[in-house]
């Protein structure tokens, strides 16, 4: 159906799209392993994207942009830390507030600085992270003639921006820090039983702040990446829910660094397919068959379950069956083998639907850090 080169291009795209997810996911990992639930990752990502794009545009240097983006993200992390750790406030509300804060401030500041309706001007070279080509890699012209191994090397491995490689490196780095260092032991302990850490004479507050700052750094890199590498400027709400998808990936990955890589690559793959194949045509009969199978699978699942399961999932099954019916109906005149176009919005919603499916736990139950989301108060 598709040739090897196209597959490589899709995988290549997956890696690029997975990079911000991976960085944000690891940011969430450090934070949650220390017991701080961070739903404000989206806001940090957005804020870092804006600040890095703005600084890169103004100074002409992408490195200044990167540093500024990280700084902005750390500031928001400290705010979240202040609310969750020092003031023992509700961590979810703090995260939600930070998301809104970033969404509002970035547009206000962008409009004030650049007057372009809430976006930053496009970055020229020097203001972007350029693709790094490995030695002996074929250029895109030579690509179609090269052998499969060379294609793999040139297309998939070489030619990414620096930050992609940095992101990949953070995975083994995170694993090492978490499992092989004293800091990592203490960090994991503070997310499971902060009292154990406190009575051992270590500062719970210090560890937790360290965790959120690490998260801030990682989000900062991710933000700089999307605004200077993936795209060449900042636009309103460009984070597009990635901060939340990364959280789903984190749960999927059971809070472990290497699984997180796998999970984010998977999501990246779905994003890539989404981008590449806008017009997906399927023969009507195969589409209705797929839908029919889903419907029957749902119905048989709920057969022995309780009343609520029957109502909800049975209703869903019915809805799917209705859609299958409508598909058949729409091609009745032209014959059942004719093709049906899958609506674009459906494909665009796929990452979000996938997130819900992951969260629904049909891919296994995950046990979060025991002390997650609860502020630490000394017993009286």
Partner 1 sequence: MDVMPKWVDIIVVPLFSLFLAAALSALLILAIGESPIAALNLMIEGTLFRSAGWGYMLYYTTNFIFTGLAVSVAFHAALFNIGGEGQAMIGGLGVALVCLFIPWPHWTLAIVGASIGAALFGMIWAGLPAYLQAKRGSHIVITTIMFNFIAAGVLNFFLVDVLKPAGSMDPASANFPASTHLPTFQDIAGIIGFEKAFRSAPANVSFFIALLACLATWYLIWRTPLGYEIRALGKSGPAARYAGVRPVKIIMIAMMISGALCGMMAINTTQGESERLILNFTEGAGFIGIAVALMGRSHPVGVLLAALLFGFLYQGGAELALWTKIPRELIVVIQALVILFTGALSLMVRAPLERFFMSIQRARV
Partner 2 sequence: MTIKPAIELRGISKSFGPVQANKDITIRVMPGTIHGIIGENGAGKSTLMSILYGFYRADAGEIFVDGKKISIPDSQAAIGVGIGMVFQHFKLVENFTVLENIVLGAESGALLSPSLNKARAELAALASEYELNVDPDAIIEDIGVGMQQRIEILKALYRKANILILDEPTGVLTPAEADQLFRILKRLREEGKTIILITHKLREIMDITDTVSVMRQGEMTATLETNETSPENLAELMVGRKVLLRVDKTPAKPKNPVLEIEDLNMFDDFGVQRLKNVNLSVRAGEILGIAGVAGNGQSELLEVLGGYQKADGTVKVKGSEIDLTTSVNGDGQARRAQGIAHVPEDRQREGLIMDFMAWENSVFGYHREKSNQANRFFMDNNAIRRETEGKMHRFDVRPPNPKLTAKNFSGGNQQKIVLAREIERDPDLLLVGQPTRGVDIGAIEFIHQQIVALRDRGKAILLISVELDEILSLSDKIAVMFDGKIMGERLPSETNEKELGLLMAGVAEQVAQ
Toward partner 1, which CB reaches closer, 118 or 223?
A: 118
The b/e string for 238-247 (b: 16+ C-beta within 10 A; e otherwise) is bbbebbbbbb
Residues 6+ apart with CB under 8 A from 67: 55
By CB under 8 A, residue 193 contacts partner 2: yes
Task: Give the count of alpha carbons within 13 A of 182, CB side only.
Answer: 1
374: contact with partner 2 by CB under 8 A: no
Identify the residue whose tokens are 């779905």.
270
Q: Which is nearer to partner 2, 149 or 200 (CB)?
A: 200
From residue 268, alpha-carbon distances to 70, 90, 274, 351 in Å are 23, 31, 10, 9
Per-residue tokens: 209: 């702040």
Q: Which of 183, 259, 285, 352 binds partner 2 (CB under 8 A)?
A: 183
CB of 40 to partner 1, least distance (A): 10
315 vs 354: CA distance, rounded Å: 19
Q: According to the binding rule CB under 8 A, does residue 201 interact with partner 2?
A: yes
* Closest separation in Å from C-beta 306 to partner 2: 8
Residue 246 and residue 19 in contact, taking contact as beta carbons nearer than 8 Å: no
| Residue 162: CB atoms within 10 Å | 15
Q: By C-beta, is 163 or 250 nearer to partner 1? A: 250
Closest distance of CB 330 from partner 1, Å? 11
Q: Please say whether the beta carbons of 48 and 70 come within 8 A.
A: yes
Which stretch, 19-27, 143-151, 189-197, 280-288, contacts partner 2 (CB under 8 A)? Answer: 189-197
Between 11 and 240, name the residue whose CB sits nearer to partner 1.
Answer: 240
Which CB, 98 or 212, lies closer to partner 1? 98
Say whether residue 370 binds partner 2 (CB under 8 A).
yes
Give the footprint of partner 2 on this chain (CB under 8 A).
179-186, 188-189, 192-193, 195-202, 370, 378-380
């Amino acid at each position: 159906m598709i040739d090897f080169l196209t597959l490589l291009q899709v995988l290549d795209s997956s890696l690029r799209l997975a990079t911000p997810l991976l960085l944000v996911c690891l940011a969430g990992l450090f934070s949650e392993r220390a017991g701080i639930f961070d739903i404000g990752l989206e806001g940090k990502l957005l804020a870092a994207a804006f600040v890095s794009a703005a600084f890169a545009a103004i100074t002409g240097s992408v490195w200044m942009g990167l540093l500024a983006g990280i700084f902005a993200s750390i500031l928001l992390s400290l705010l979240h830390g202040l609310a969750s750790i020092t003031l023992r406030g509700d961590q979810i509300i703090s995260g939600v507030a930070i998301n809104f804060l970033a969404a509002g401030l970035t547009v206000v500041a962008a409009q004030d600085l650049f007057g372009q309706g809430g976006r930053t001007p496009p970055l020229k070279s020097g203001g972007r992270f350029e693709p790094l080509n490995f030695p002996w890699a074929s250029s895109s012209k030579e690509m179609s003639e090269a052998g499969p191994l060379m294609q793999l090397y040139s297309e998939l491995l070489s030619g990414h921006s620096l930050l992609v490689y940095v992101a990949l490196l953070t995975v083994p780095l995170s694993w090492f820090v978490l499992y092989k260092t004293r800091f990592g032991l203490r960090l994991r302990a503070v997310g499971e039983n902060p009292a154990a850490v406190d009575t051992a004479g270590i500062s719970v507050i210090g560890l937790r702040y360290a965790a959120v700052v690490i998260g801030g750094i990682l989000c900062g890199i991710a933000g700089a990446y999307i605004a200077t590498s993936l795209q060449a400027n900042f636009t309103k709400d460009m984070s597009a829910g990635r901060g939340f998808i990364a959280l789903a990936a984190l749960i999927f990955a059971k809070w472990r660094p290497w699984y997180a890589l796998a999970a984010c690559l998977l999501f990246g793959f779905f994003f890539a397919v989404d981008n590449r194949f806008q017009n997906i045509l399927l023969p009507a009969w195969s589409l209705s068959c797929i839908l029919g199978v889903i419907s029957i699978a749902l119905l048989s699942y709920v057969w022995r379950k309780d009343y609520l399961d029957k109502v909800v999932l049975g209703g869903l099954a019915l809805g799917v069956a209705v859609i299958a019916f409508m598909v058949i109906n729409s091609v009745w005149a032209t014959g059942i083998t004719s093709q049906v176009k899958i609506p674009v919005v459906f494909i665009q919603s796929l990452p979000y639907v996938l997130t819900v499916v992951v969260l629904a736990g049909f891919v296994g139950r995950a046990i979060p850090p025991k002390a997650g989301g609860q502020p630490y108060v000394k017993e009286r």
